[in-house]
Amino acid sequence: MLERIGSPRDLRGLTYPELSELSSEIRDFLVDNVSRTGGHLGPNLGVVELTIGIHRVFESPHDSIVFDTGHQSYVHKLLTGRQDFSSLRRRGGLAGYPARQESVHDIVENSHASTALSWAAGIARGHTLRGETGRTTVAVIGDGALTGGMAWEALNSLGDSRDRVVVVVNDNGRSYAPTIGGLARKLDGIRIDRRYEDFLGWGKRTFENRGRLRNFAYLSVMHGKRALKGLLTDPGVFSDLGLKYIGPIDGHDLRHVETALAQARDFGGPVIVHVLTEKGRGYIPAEQDAADRFHAVGQIHPETGLPIEASRFGWTSVFADEIVEIAQERPDVVALTAAMLAPVGLQPLADRYPERVIDVGIAEQHAVTSAAGLAYAGLHPVVAVYATFLNRAFDQVLMDVALHRAGVTFMLDRAGITGDDGPSHNGMWDMALLRHVPGLRLAAPRDEPTLRSALRDAIEVDDAPTVVRYPKGAVGAPVPALRRVGDLDVIAEHGDNPRVVVVGLGSMATTAVGAAEKIAADGFATLAATATWVHPVPEGLEELIAGADLVVTVEDGLTDAGIGEEWAAYARLAGVRAEWAHHGVPREFLQHATRAQIVDDLGLDPSAIADATLARLEQD
C-alpha cells in the first residue's frame, strides 16, 4: 500500500480497509527505519491516522499544513512522496523536521515549539487579504506545545478573526513528558468526561449502522439528551476565546477524524479540533514505556527498543549528579524546566526533592521571569534549558533578571554545534547574545571537573545572572591545567617564549591542544590555553599573551561578536601588540549533518586550525 502513495491525492481513492492496512505499513516502516537512523519515533507512531485524515480532507499545498513543532512530520513526509528514510537526519538525507527544500508541502522549518498557530494566523490572513477564500490553513499542535504562551497569543488573535484556520490539537497528554499545568487539567477533564465516553461509543455504533455521518452537528442533535453540546461545540476555555470547538475525537478512528476535519473545513472560520492520540501507538516497547524513552531515539534494536550501543556518561549526567549534591547542601536551590525534565538532567533532582523542581511547560519566557521572582523571594533558581531555546527568552534574561540583578543560574545544555537536528537546534547563538547582557557572567567548562566547579561557582553569585554552557554528548577525558595565569589555564606548552597562543573555549579546549602540537611541530613555540569563566574577559589575559605574535581563538559559537572578538578588543585597548585570528561558526544556518562533519566543514578541527595558523605566520 505505501509504495502506491506518491502524493496525497493517491489517498483519496482508497477504501477504509485499505487505509487501515496503509496505517499498519506506515508504523512498520517507521519502526524499521528510525531504529536504524535514530529520530523521533513515538510522536510519529501516534499521528498516523491523523495525518492520513488531514491529507484526505485538505488539499496540500493549496491548503497550507503547518506542524508544531515538526518532529511529528515523518508520516507527512511519507504521504508527500518522500519514502527514502535511509539517511534520515544525515547529510544529504531527509531532515528530521519539515524542510522547504525537500517539498512544496513543507512550510515551516522552525522546530521551536508553540509557533505554528502564529504562522497559521498569518498565512490565513494573507489568503483572506488576497481574496483566496477557498484556501484553508491547518495547524497541527500537540497539547504540550499548547502550553507555550505564544500559542495562546495566537489563539487570542484567531478568536477575533474570521479567517479559515483549523487548529488540530493532537492531545496525547505528553510532550517530552506528561503535559502539566491548568490546560493539561482542562484537557484531561474533557478526555475523561463520561459524556465523551458515552458519545464516543454511541458515535462509533452509529457509524457502523448508518455509514458516515455528514457532520457532528447532527451527532449533537441526535444525542442532545446527553448534554453533549458543551463537548462538541463550546468547552469553556476555547469558547471564551471566540473559537468553535469539535471533539474530543478518537485520533485513531479515521472515519471520525475525517468527519470532524471536514466539518471544521466547511465552517469557514477558526475551529479547534481536539484529537486524542496515543504516543508510540502500535509499537509495544513504546506503548509500555512510561518515561518517554521513545520520543526521540538513537539506533535501537527494533524488536526490543533497546539501544544498539550503550550511551556514554554525558555532560547532562554530570549536571544531573552535581545539582542533586548541591541541593542536599543548600535548601535554597530550586530548579526550573520548560517541559524537558529528563532531557536536561533534572529528573534525579525531581525524584529526590519534587517540591523544588518546577516544570512550567513549553514556556521559556515564563520560566526565566518566574526565576527572577524566585530569586527575589530569597531562593537561588537554576534554569536548565537547551541553549537554542534560551534564545526565546532573551528579553526576559535582559530585562527581568539582569536589570533586577537577580541571582539566577542558567544551565545551557546542547550548547554549540549539535548537528543532526538541523539549523534550529544548533546552540551556537548564546555566547554572542549573552555577552551583551550587563553584569552577566558566562562559563564554558571543558570537562567534568570544570563543569562541576562552574556550577558551584555560579550558584554562589546572588546579584547577577550566571550562565554555564556545555555541549551535547559524552564527556571526554579531563584536560588538566599545567599551570594557571590569573583565571586562565595553560593546557599545553611547546617551547619557551611562545610566538603563538591558541585559546580553545569550552569543548574546543582539546582542539586547541591538538592544534598547538601541530603548529609546534613546524618550529614555532606554541602555548594552548583555556578558561572556565570566559565572560567577562578573565584576569590574566594580558600576561598570558604578552610577547606572542599571534593569538588564535577557537569557539563553537558565532565568530562575529563572539568571545574571541571580545577578548581581542579588550587586549587592543590594553595596548597588547599581538595579532588575532578567530575561528568559530559563521553567521549562517547550518544544515543537518553530524557534528564531526560540520566541524570539518567549518575548519574547526586541529589540523585545519594549525594549517590556517601556519599560513598566517608565513604571510607575516
Q: Is the per-residue pLDDT at 229 higher than 50? A: no
Instruction: Quote the pLDDT of residue 312.
Output: 56
Residue 112's pLDDT is: 79
| Residue 301: pLDDT band with limits 50, 70, 90 | low
Residue 188 has pLDDT above 80, yes or no: no
pLDDT tier at 211, thresholds 50, 70, 90: very low
Q: Are 488 and 438 in contact (CB under 8 A)?
A: no
Q: Residue 177: its pLDDT value, please?
A: 53
Q: Hey, is 402 helix, strand or coil?
A: helix
Q: Which CATH superfamily is domain 2-285 in?
A: Thiamin diphosphate (ThDP)-binding fold, Pyr/PP domains (3.40.50.970)
* Catalytic residue (choose from 279, 499, 518, 595): 279
Please check the confidence at residue 208 and state whether its pLDDT lies above 50: no
From the annotation, which residues make up the binding site for Mg(2+)? 143, 172
State residue 218's pLDDT score. Answer: 34
- State the pLDDT confidence band at 233, using cuts at 50, 70 and 90: very low
Mean pLDDT, range 486-504, rounded to an integer: 96
Whole-number pLDDT of residue 439: 97
User: Does the structure show a pLDDT above 70 at 185?
Assistant: no
H or E stretch at 168 = strand 165-171
**SS3 state at 329:** helix
Spot the catalytic one: 392, 469, 472, 518.
Answer: 392
Q: How far is CA 499 from CA 245, 333, 397, 486, 575, in A?
A: 70, 46, 40, 20, 17
Which one is predicted more confidently, 256 or 147?
256
Cis peptide before 248 (omega within 30 of 0): yes
pLDDT of residue 193: 52
- 260/169 Cα distance (integer angstroms): 12
- For residue 219, pLDDT over 90 is answered with no
Summarised one tens digit per residue, pLDDT across range 522-564 is: 999 999 999 999 999 999 999 999 999 999 999 999 999 999 9
To the query of whether residue 414 is one of the catalytic residues in this protein, the response is no
pLDDT interval class at 491 (50, 70, 90)? very high
Residue from 62, 90, 8 nearest 596 by CA:
90
Domains 2-285 and 315-469 share a fold: yes
Per-residue HEC secondary structure of 331-385 comes to: CCEEEEECCCCCCCCCHHHHHHCHHHEEECCCCHHHHHHHHHHHHHCCCEEEEEE
CATH of domain 315-469: 3.40.50.970
pTM of the full structure: 0.82
Grid coordinates given for 271: 475551529
Please name which of 41, 39, 44, 29 lies closest in space to residue 89, comparing C-alpha atoms.
Answer: 39
Instruction: Give the residue numbers of the binding site.
Output: 71, 111-113, 143-145, 172, 283, 364
Q: What integer pLDDT is reported at residue 221 of this predicted model?
A: 34
pLDDT of residue 203: 47
Q: What is the pLDDT of residues 417-434, one digit of tens each?
A: 998 887 888 889 999 999
Taking the C-alpha atoms of residue 322 and residue 326, their distance in angstroms, rounded to an integer, is: 6
Residue 153 a catalytic site member: no
Strands 409-413 and 533-535: unpaired
Topology of the domain covering 483-619: Rossmann fold (3.40.50)
Categorize the per-residue pLDDT at 41 as very low, low, confident or very high, splitting at 50, 70 and 90.
confident
Average pLDDT, the chain: 87
321-377 per-position pLDDT tens digit = 999 999 999 999 999 999 889 999 999 999 999 999 999 988 999 999 999 999 999
Q: Is 493 a residue of the active site?
A: no
Q: Helix (H, G, I), strand (E, B), or coil: what is residue 607?
A: helix
**Confidence category of residue 227, pLDDT binned at 50, 70, 90:** very low
**pLDDT score, position 235:** 60
pLDDT in tens, 595-615: 999 999 999 999 999 999 999
> In the chain, where are the structural domains located?
2-285, 315-469, 483-619
